[in-house]
Chain A
Amino acid sequence: MEKLKVIIDGRECEAIKDQCVLDVARENGIPIPALCYNPEVKTSGGSCRVCLVEAHQGGWMRLVTSCNYPVRKGLEIKTNTDLVHKIRRGVLELLRARVPDSDVIKKLALEEGITEPRFKKDEGEDNRYKCIACALCAQVCEEVVGVSAISMQNRGADKQPGTPYHKPSNVCIGCGACVYVCPTNAISMKETGDIRRIWSRDFKMAKCSMCSKPYIPEAQIDWIVKTTGKARAFFDKCPDHR
């Protein structure tokens, strides 16, 4: 691992070659807003464009997404310039119109001084109107969970995650990783008794033998047992009672 120095907002920061700018900035307490990036998901990032920063290198400057821009020798980053704010404001105004009810986006947009978008807001009932199509859910499902139950479908404004043909997926394990990573809380997961409903499919939940709280879908236990060889008895108790 090659260590090097990168300048962010005038401060010299230690970094590892090819580490992303956003991680380095956060390690050094320099805030950059970001939605579609999750450090645990290697394929994530680069789609929402909220984390744009100025990259100065070798005599040129361009805006780059800090979540996937690799740190190389001689790089200087500026996170707080007029250009950065202007373009971020534009991006957030577009997102405000796309997902008008999202509190996360409302808050971020307000930080850039946007109360109402100038464009006609998208309106509708289904999850498309909460989703910024960042693909983090599909990425976590493929890369971390390893089942690829959902993927990004359609293109342009209609791009959204879903199961094939919007039918209940027989490979989904109901783990809810997609729900946990979603930056705009756009994926619905409901639990009624010992049944979890996600992506139009019902999952029976296993109960903890101590507190009898339903805490994990049986399909997820099957998957973990199958892929890791962990003993089934391990899932007898919920994390609180292990």
Chain B
Amino acid sequence: MEAITSMEQLQRYRDRLQARQKRDLAAVLVCCGTGCLAKGALKVADAFKAEFESKRIKANIDIGLKTTGCHGYCANGPLVVLRPKDILYHKVQPEDVPEIVERSLKGSEVIERLIYQDPDTKESIADFHQIPFYKYQVRIALRNIGIIDPTEIDDYILQGGYHTLAKALRMNPDAIIAEIEASGLRGRGGGGFPTATKWKSAKAIQSDVRYVICNGDEGDPGAFMDGATMQGDPHAIIEGMIIGAYAIGSNQGYIYVRDEYPLAVKNLAIAVKAVREKGFLGKDILGSGFAFDIKISRGGGAFVCGESSALMRSVEGKVGEPRAKYIRSVEKGLYDKPTVLNNVETWANVPIIIEKGGAWYASYGTKGSKGTKVFSLVGKVNNTGLVEVPMGISIRKLIEEIGGGVLSGKRFKAVQTGGPSGGCIPERLSDLPIDFDSLTDVGSMMGSGGIIVMDEETCMVDVAKYFIGFLVGESCGKCTPCRDGLRRMLDVLIDITEGRGKETDVAVLEELCDVLTWGALCGLGTSAANPVLSTIKYFREEYDAHIKDKQCPAGVCKALITYSIDAEACTGCTLCAKKCPQKCITGERKKAHVIDTEQCIKCGVCKDVCNFNAVRVA
């Protein structure tokens, strides 16, 4: 591969790539994000290859064929997009492929059964930009994901990739920081610290060596924004890091990626190698005299290593434990040198901000939180997936319009944002605009952007127990409040959910929350109380029901519920009796059935399978 040594040469290279590709070439984009892969996207991609061969269609000459990163609409995978009309086919199976090739690629028909149908109006929509899930999104950080093949650097260059780098290398480094400042970009990893301030601080410290780090250790349950970005558009991150390094005067960068993201590790490694070969990493980048390189550092799976100081220790090859940040890492970070650590999404935003200007970016969002934010929308919502929306969108709009509402028409109860140390926000606050400050104000946080939707069948005490349990397992054990406080909290929560709750328990929980919030060493510990505090604040009545009445209103906590069959509603279809793993449901055909509560293990299978809503939980 030829190295590119100047901006002019890069322009010529891109012109050649464009000349080779026909304008408006029809193309098949097969989503190979994690969700679609799990649903068999690779088989679909292989079916296209085979079909092309058998029909003597030359892939990427007659018709384009690409496997891309995550399109976001994970609930309906495997997804296939047909360009240039941007027709989105859902739940595509290998058997559908010959028909797609024949009717939609060779012909120009739309296959009705594979396109989106509005669940309410039954209207069919082929162009994915018009589907509600995509319509309200503004894709800035995710701009290339689903469009490019992340393993092909030429695809990224065709989208204008590394041109911004060429532009940046001709700018004064301070002008780059000024542009980032004008954009109002705040750290997307959760802290929301102004990116430009961080860069300026690191630059202001006298030092011969400075480092930049990309934090790709995303570990929140239900969050996959950064994983999707690293898999789907690694070059945006790398280009952002080179620009940032040039701005602060750093010659070495690290991408810390968790090893449980094998595809992200693979695609990042392919990308870094390709970038080096092209000459955008190394000495004298694009003839500017600036030298910079990136190493990929794989994390071993400790949640705490997403905390910046623990991450840096892990990069150094030490045990990933946080340290007190009384002296900040912009001053003394990796190897005690000034270090700028930003999250994946923050870095991915950098090139486009430099390309289009800080003012353009700042035109999106709210007063204190500019731009867009990527969220992973999961839980009891119809359209689970990856979405990018302007800051300030309301929780309700995100869930009802983009998310398509709560599953099975159940009542929307709360959302949990911000990962395990985030909080639960009740339905009545769902007109709240989502930004850094408003979420903190109501006792939750932005975190890295996980949004877990909960319905009326979610027990909030059980939710708090789940997250505290997660944190107990992930506490590094260095400081007393987190190591011992969390497990005592978990003990109390287990007691409450198993019917041993005492009147004093809520007060004990609140005291422990204070010890964590004020006394823990790192951000993981100081925010760990949020799941408990926010559920006590907004769902106190559920705690009281568990403790005083020994009842679980949501019907979740097994020790506090019993299953029974409503004789009026039961039709005696026998389905529940057949499915019951304990064989403890009896009754004659066409007559009401009965559950032997002594034998019942409260697994809920009978309720799930009953077509007549005859199983009661109380």
Contacts and interface: CB of A to CB of B under 8 A. Distances in A.
A77 interface: no
A91 interface: yes
Contact of A94 (B302, B327, B475, B481): B481
B518 interface: yes
A242 interface: no
A114 interface: no
Contact of B488 (A52, A68, A119, A132): A119
Interface string B308-326: 0000000000010101101
Interface string A60-75: 0011110011100000
Nearest to B476: A155
A154 B481 contact: no
Interface stretch (B223-231, B232-240, B509-517): B509-517
Given A64-B326, A120-B491, A159 B519 contact: no
A83 B518 contact: yes
A159 B487 CA distance: 13
A156 B481 contact: no
B512 to A, nearest CB: 7
A155 B326 contact: no
Contacts of B481: 49, 90-91, 94
Contacts of B491: 119-120
A133 interface: yes
A86 interface: yes
B521 A90 contact: no
A32 interface: no
Interface in A136-173: 151-152, 154-159
Contact of B514 (A46, A68, A70, A90): A90
Given A52-B519, A98-B484, A120-B491, A46 B479 contact: yes
A135 interface: yes
Nearest to A72: B326
B111 interface: no
Dominant secondary structure of chain B at its interface with chain A: helix
A50 B480 CA distance: 9
Contact of A65 (B321, B324, B472, B474): B324
A87 B515 contact: yes
Contacts of A95: 480, 484
A135 B485 CA distance: 18
B465 interface: no
Contacts of A49: 479-481, 519-521
B479 A152 contact: no
Given A46-B521, A87-B518, A151 B484 contact: no
Interface in A94-150: 94-95, 97-98, 118-120, 132-133, 135
Given A68-B326, A70-B327, A157-B487, A86 B476 contact: no
B485 A159 contact: no
A91 B515 contact: yes
B473 interface: yes
Dominant secondary structure of chain A at its interface with chain B: mixed
Contacts of A64: 324, 326
Contacts of B326: 64, 68-70
Given A47-B521, A65-B324, A159 B483 contact: yes
Given A52-B519, A63-B518, A86-B514, A47 B480 contact: yes
Contacts of B519: 49, 52, 63, 87, 90-91
Interface residues of A, number: 36
A75 to B, nearest CB: 11
Contacts of A177: none
A107 to B, nearest CB: 17
B171 interface: no
Contacts of A135: 478
Nearest to A52: B519
A156 B480 CA distance: 10
A90 B485 contact: yes
A37 to B, nearest CB: 12
A48 interface: yes
A91 B520 CA distance: 10
Contacts of B483: 133, 156-157, 159
Which among B304, B321, B324 has the highest number of chain A CB atoms within 10 Å?
Answer: B324
B205 interface: no
B514 A155 contact: no
B508 interface: yes
A86 B514 CA distance: 9
B518 A159 contact: no
Contacts of B474: 155-156
Interface string A207-234: 0000000000000000000000000000
Contacts of B476: 155-156, 159
Contacts of A118: 508
Contact of A157 (B484, B514, B521): B484
Contacts of B324: 46, 64-65, 68-69
A119 B514 CA distance: 16
Interface in B289-334: 302, 304, 319, 321, 323-324, 326-327
B581 interface: no
A216 to B, nearest CB: 31
Nearest to A86: B514
Contacts of B488: 94, 97, 119
Contacts of B473: 156
B262 interface: no
Interface string B467-499: 000001111111111011101100100000000
A151 B319 contact: yes
Interface in B90-145: none
Contacts of A152: 319, 321, 477
B319 A46 contact: no
B579 to A, nearest CB: 38
A44 to B, nearest CB: 12
B231 to A, nearest CB: 28
Which among B472, B480, B512 has the highest number of chain A CB atoms within 10 Å?
Answer: B480
A87 B515 CA distance: 5
A90 to B, nearest CB: 3
Interface string A29-49: 000000000000000001111
A159 B480 CA distance: 11
Contacts of A119: 488, 491
Contact of B511 (A52, A90, A155): A90
Contacts of B472: 156-157
A156 B521 CA distance: 13
B612 to A, nearest CB: 46
Nearest to B492: A119
A61 B474 CA distance: 28
Closest 10 CB pairs of A and B: A159-B477, A90-B515, A94-B484, A156-B475, A87-B519, A156-B477, A119-B488, A155-B477, A63-B518, A87-B518
26 contacts: A47-B521, A48-B479, A49-B480, A52-B518, A64-B326, A65-B324, A65-B521, A68-B326, A69-B324, A86-B514, A90-B481, A90-B519, A91-B515, A95-B484, A98-B484, A133-B478, A151-B319, A155-B304, A155-B477, A156-B473, A156-B476, A156-B483, A157-B472, A157-B477, A157-B483, A159-B476
Interface of B: 302, 304, 319, 321, 323-324, 326-327, 472-481, 483-485, 487-488, 491, 508, 511-512, 514-515, 518-521
Given A151-B319, A157-B487, A158-B477, 18 more contacts: A47-B521, A49-B481, A65-B324, A65-B521, A69-B326, A70-B326, A90-B514, A90-B519, A91-B481, A94-B480, A94-B485, A94-B515, A95-B480, A98-B484, A156-B472, A156-B476, A156-B477, A159-B477
